Amino acid sequence: MTSSSTPAAKAELLIHASAQRAFDAFVEPDQLAQFWLARSSGPLAPGATVDWEFMVPGAHETVVVKAFDRPRHLGFDWSDGVHVDLRFKDQAPNAVVVTVAASGFADADTAIGATEGFTLVLCDLKIWLESGRSPGLVRDKAALLAQQLGQGK
């Protein structure tokens, strides 16, 4: 949570890749499917509206891009009023700090869950960009959630 009374989520990680590469990973559907989503209806672009399917069965979201400053800043809103803000700051040659901040959550428990989720997304992204192979962190968490919701095997 932030210092105000509004619940928020934040995650941050150093990734050994260029800011451009990390930024594009959140923009391009084929790259998003490597570490975060099951499917995206299209790339993120200034003013775009796209549909995302998450790896948890039945979890989907409409994303409206509100900020697009390649490769430094990406912001978008979800249909439930949550705003997600991604910042990409060069740390060293071929290293970037990716920060995700999200606000507009209904309650603290949802913000805490989102913090966990964004942390897993950034960890999966880091390993994928640095090694060329996703460790499946987001997929495994999605499978666990599906099982807990009675959707898994």
Residue 153 lies in a domain: no
pLDDT of 152: 53
Residue 86 lies in a domain: yes
Residue 118 lies in a domain: yes
Pairing of strands 49-54, 37-40: antiparallel
pLDDT of 77: 98
pLDDT of 3: 47
Chunked in runs of 10, what are the mean pLDDT values of the chain (153 residues)?
74 98 98 98 98 95 98 97 97 96 96 97 98 97 92 55
Q: What are phi and psi of 58, to 5 degrees?
A: 85, -10
Q: What is the pTM of this model?
A: 0.93
Residue 90 lies in a domain: yes
Number of domains observed in the structure of the chain: 1
Residue 2 lies in a domain: no
Chain-centroid distance, C-alpha 7: 18
* Residue linked to tokens 């910042």: 87
Q: What CATH number is associated with residue 65? A: 3.30.530.20
Residue 130 lies in a domain: yes
Residue 26 lies in a domain: yes
* Residue 147 neighbours by CB under 8 Å, 6+ apart: 153
pLDDT of 149: 86
Residue 3 lies in a domain: no
pLDDT of 7: 94
Domain that holds residue 139: 8-148
